[in-house]
Amino acid sequence: MRRVLAELAVTAALVVWVSVDTPDMWRLLARACQGTALAVGRVGIYAEDRAAILATEGA
């Protein structure tokens, strides 16, 4: 979870940095956002798996 928060913080910092408004900065921001989306997706998959396990154990 800390990694996800750290990646979100980095992405927010990059948004500020991108205010330079150059193509390279926007590409860098896109890569940072994709990395953050990947991390959030992994957390979501874990949450779905954990919910399924708990539902099975509760049945």
Contact 43, 1 (CB under 8 A): yes
Residue 15 to residue 46: CA distance in whole angstroms: 28
pLDDT of residue 47: 94
Distance CA 24, CA 6 (A): 22
Residue spans of alpha helices (H) in 1-59: 2-17, 23-58
Residues 3-43 have pLDDT tens digits of: 888 888 888 887 777 677 788 878 887 898 898 899 999 99
pTM (predicted TM-score) = 0.54
Question: For residue 52, what pLDDT band results from cuts at 50, 70 and 90?
Answer: very high
